[in-house]
Structure 1
Amino acid sequence: MDAVNYINTLDDLELSRATPTEPTFGIVDLAADAGFLRQLYGSMTQANMEWFSLFLGSSWQADWEQGPILLDLTSAPEFAGELVMMMQTKPLGVLIQSSADGAEMLQRCQRWLFNSGASILRFYEPRMLTPLIAAMTDMQRADLVRLGETWAWHNGHEWGQYQSTSENPEAGEKSPVVTTEQLKDVSWYRLAEHAREYAEYYRGNLVVHSDPQTWVMSCLMKANESGFKTKADQERWLRLAIRYGDSFYRQEAFKTVMEQQALTPAQQMTAMESNSEALNAQL
């Protein structure tokens, strides 16, 4: 799939960027905050809340303190508001607005957690949920997020809210399966999400491009293909592309550095940035 299609698929999801206001459920990964349970127990003295480990009844049950839990927030609007604020600063999980009862929601979440019974699918990871939904089929999305529901998460940059626009008549009839190929695509959609963020941040430097998001995505894909896998190094690659053009890596000064296998990708990037300073000095 090319850069245009990855970007367009994200756009087609039509995510809202609004902050959630009235969630009825929350999925929280206890591994993301060692002190969350203490805060939860303190709040339960003021509000009637129920919570359930998603590892309940599985071979992972003994490790429940390091896994996801489902919170029923129906009777705890104040804590729900606190949870919204917490999720803006830590990758705790996802918030759900639904008319389902707690037992139904628990069953559904466990179905998705144990992807085809073979492995754990961390569908509640807020930094990966947009790419995961993008990689799904329409039927899978309608199974995860039922008609009339809203799922919300904060990816570290902004809120995203997804509402299903269709109903899956087969929802719940069999265990959902996210294929290996779909999981591979998740990383590319994550890259597309970064591309949209960078296109917004560097928009003043991208006015010469008719489609800044796609241009940035192409640059990030080339960085990844060239061995620069971290978000930090890919942004550094993008800055060089903005300054010298998207084919800068073909210039001898940069090509020579990239051929130095003894250097780590981060060291190569530092050397290329040093070369760019030397090039500027010669102008």
Structure 2
Amino acid sequence: MDAAHYIATLECVAPRASAPETYDYAILELAASDNLLAQIYSAMSHERLQWWSLFEGTEWQDAWENGPVLVDLRNAAGFRQQLLSQLESAPLGVVFESELTVETLRQNLAARLCGSQAGAGHLLRFYEPRMIAPLLSALVEQKRQALLVPGCRWYWHDGHGWRGAVAIEDGHCGSWESEPMLVTQQELREAEVYWVAGEACGYADHYAKALTSVESPKHWVFNSLQSARGAGFQKTGHLERWLRLAIQHGADFPRLEPFRSTLSRDDLALTERLTAMESTPEKSHANA
């Protein structure tokens, strides 16, 4: 995998950003928090806040309480400020600016939910803050703009920091019309690699002091995370534990004993293999 390509593309398409000072709307995932809907209702009692389920009129309509909602925050400054801190601690959704009418937004954003594959029953959660940058990076420009233009300016917290994206047609959103869009399986697979690139950027910053001797820390972390995925570790928690092992014992630790033997033990679950490797005394291996 070309670490430089994936990281550079992601940072160009969805660069780091400051927390947004102003925004008009949010797409929030009710399934991400048991209290989110109650918070919205509470805010409505003292602010002019409106919201609509994006599942309305779709095959997922009956499950609206576990789906995305479009929230109009233009007249809800209090809830808007409260939401920012929540977005920094939990993957609840994205916020954005838009010049489109609410009805147009509802129709076009709901249409994007069905754009993941050709068959019925496939849901594209394009508002998932941990995956929106990888998804945008994996799409060709035309598809990328099809997702971005309804919002003009998007902001989200990916678990490491704020990112943002701006539509090319910024300032002319009112003339945009929905067009069919299909995200292919290949693009979804590419998005997974771009997700690794985003995680590598975040972890490289977090573990910067431990990576001072490493050339191109982001690339080094990307390759370490890809090594973990190649060994069968896919969960975020597992990847970070693998990375800590690489920092402690060197990037080639999976090829060294006793790590190699531990990794090959089919009688141990993945978490148990990590735990066993973490108990191995530190040896004098290079970190690069």
Q: TM-score, normalising length from structure 1?
A: 0.90
The residue number in structure 2 matching 1:34 is 34
CA offset digits 1:158-184 (Å, max 9, x no partner): 121211235799964532111111111
SS for the counterpart of 1:152 is strand
The residue number in structure 1 matching 2:62 is 62
CA offset digits 1:210-247 (Å, max 9, x no partner): 21101110111011101222222222222222233211
**CA apart distance, 1:78:** 2.5
The residue number in structure 2 matching 1:90 is 90
The residue number in structure 1 matching 2:267 is 262
The residue number in structure 1 matching 2:241 is 236
**1:143 and 1:172 in contact (8 A); partners too:** no
User: In the TM superposition, what are the counterparts of 1:59-208 in structure 2 within 5 Å?
Assistant: 59-115=59-115, 118=120, 119-146=122-149, 149-165=152-168, 172=177, 174-208=179-213
**2:47 and 2:76 in contact (8 A); partners too:** yes
Q: Distance in 2 between matches of 1:53 and 1:76?
A: 18
**CA apart distance, 1:207:** 2.3
> Root-mean-square deviation (CA), in Å?
2.3
Tell me which moved more, 171-180 or 196-205: 171-180
**Letter paired with 2:255:** R
Q: 2:277 aligns with which of 251, 272, 275?
A: 272
Q: Distance in 1 between matches of 2:230 and 2:265?
A: 16
The residue number in structure 2 matching 1:251 is 256
**Letter paired with 2:31:** A
Q: 1:96 to 1:269 in 2, by over 3 A?
A: same
SS for the counterpart of 1:96 is strand
**CA apart distance, 1:19:** 0.8
Q: 1:36 to 1:245 in 2, by over 3 A?
A: closer
**2:152 and 2:169 in contact (8 A); partners too:** no
CA offset digits 1:181-222 (Å, max 9, x no partner): 111122211111111111112222222222110111011101
The residue number in structure 2 matching 1:215 is 220
- Percent pairwise identity: 35
Tell me which moved more, 265-274 or 64-73: 265-274
Name stretches of at least 5 consecutive residues in structure 1 with no aligned partner. Answer: none
CA offset digits 1:109-159 (Å, max 9, x no partner): 011111157311011111211211111111112111128821111222212
Tell me which moved more, 235-244 or 254-263: 235-244
Q: 1:201 to 1:16 in 2, by over 3 A?
A: closer
**CA apart distance, 1:76:** 2.1
